[in-house]
Amino acid sequence: MQALIQNLVNGLAQGSVYALVALGYTMVYGVLQFINFAHAEIFMLGAFGGIFVAGWLTNGEGSFLSLVLVTFGAMAFCTGVGLAVERIAYRPLRHAPRLNVLITAIGVSLLLQNLGILVFGADPRVFPAVIPTHALFDSQNLVITNIQVLVIGTSAALMLGLHWLVRHTKLGMAMRAVSFDIETASLMGIPIDRIIAFTFAIGSALAGCAAVLYGLTYPKVDPLMGVIIGLKAFVAAVFGGIGSFVGAALGGLLMGLAETLVVYYVSSSFRDALAFGLLIVILLVKPTGLFGSMAKEKV
């Protein structure tokens, strides 16, 4: 029993990171109907941003304040990169066929990966222990660390915050309007470009926060770290129904849980097979994902 709870906690902590990244994919898809492949690299840059902020703060010696500063630093850095990518790479293609944007997204992703290798080097770096890990709950067979609680709590708070923003603010209403029908929204006087930029900013900030949480749990940071996490988060977003916020959040959590349970009860060889097997099954059984809605599309 305790082993199961242990696995659930571990899986939930990992799923929270997937969920935060998945939200970025789903938000951009919601307003622009394309997959922002560069999102995985924004996550990676967030981790490096966190390392550098921690480096400036007296070698990252642990206090709650430095954790807050590192997190906000990484989020701000990611927001900047996200906005720049949108402005430079995607906005000029707003009226181009969607395939062009998709290929551009892949290009930006590869560009950022290789820039990362060029600037930071291919060797893994260590994410500083901004707050040291210790056990909050510790019985014979069940250990819950402060980092796990922090990861799950922060992600939950961010997701609730995002839900509030989308459902109960004017900005959120504008985002929903753009996602519903971009032409009509623009005719209603909604500043499309600004709303889209805002969507990228929020998605990137979430990725930045996810990167810091990830770095605290698994302190190995390298320029290719985004690839597999981005892929898993993307699958999670599709699983939950791409375009749906609740779907992305739940999809991420389920992905984390499923991975942990598969590794525990079956074998670690099936970890990635599971993620992509899941994608195939979902696309076969329910092509719109758990919470996705059927959209009329003229291609």
286 binds other proteins, rule: CB under 8 A:
no
Stretch touching other proteins by CB under 8 A, among 18-26, 57-65, 138-146, 196-204: 138-146
User: Residue written as tokens 């707050």?
Assistant: 131
Question: Which residues does residue 221 pair with via DSSP β-bridges, in sequence order?
Answer: 125
Minimum CB distance to other proteins smaller for 133 or for 186: 133
Residue type at 247 in one-letter notation: G
Cβ at position 26, least distance to other proteins in Å: 14
Contact string 205-244 vs other proteins (x = CB under 8 A): ------------xxxx-x--x--x--x--xx---------
Cβ at position 119, least distance to other proteins in Å: 13
- Under rule CB under 8 A, which residues in 90-119 are in contact with other proteins? 97-99, 102, 106, 117
180 binds other proteins, rule: CB under 8 A:
no
Query: Using an 8 Å Cβ cutoff, are 297 and 29 in contact?
Result: no
**Number of amino acids touching other proteins (CB under 8 A):** 49
Stretch touching other proteins by CB under 8 A, among 62-70, 123-131, 151-159, 163-171: 123-131
Task: Please identify which residue in 62, 133, 149, 192 interacts with other proteins, judged by CB under 8 A.
Answer: 133
Query: Using an 8 Å Cβ cutoff, are 46 and 74 in contact?
Result: yes
The full DSSP string for the chain is -HHHHHHHHHHHHHHHHHHHHHHHHHHHHHHHSS--TTHHHHHHHHHHHHHHHHHHTGGG---HHHHHHHHHHHHHHHHHHHHHHIIIIIGGGTTS-HHHHHHHHHHHHHHHHHHHHHHH-SS-EEPP-SS---EEEE-SS-EEEHHHHHHHHHHHHHHHHHHHHHHHSHHHHHHHHHHH-HHHHHHTT--HHHHHHHHHHHHHHHHHHHHHHHHHHS-EE-TTHHHHHHHHHHHHHHHH-TT-HHHHHHHHHHHHHHHHHHHHHT-GGGHHHHHHHHHHHHHHH-TT-SS--------
Task: Please identify which residue in 107, 121, 153, 277 interacts with other proteins, judged by CB under 8 A.
Answer: 121
- Under rule CB under 8 A, which residues in 3-42 are in contact with other proteins? 3, 6-7, 10-11, 14, 35, 37
268 binds other proteins, rule: CB under 8 A:
yes
129 binds other proteins, rule: CB under 8 A:
yes
Minimum CB distance to other proteins smaller for 70 or for 225: 225
269 binds other proteins, rule: CB under 8 A:
yes
- Using CB under 8 A as the criterion, which residues of the chain lie in contact with other proteins when the complex forms? 3, 6-7, 10-11, 14, 35, 37, 97-99, 102, 106, 117, 121-124, 126, 129, 133, 135, 138, 141, 143, 145, 217-220, 222, 225, 228, 231, 234-235, 259-261, 263-264, 267-269, 271, 276, 279, 283, 299
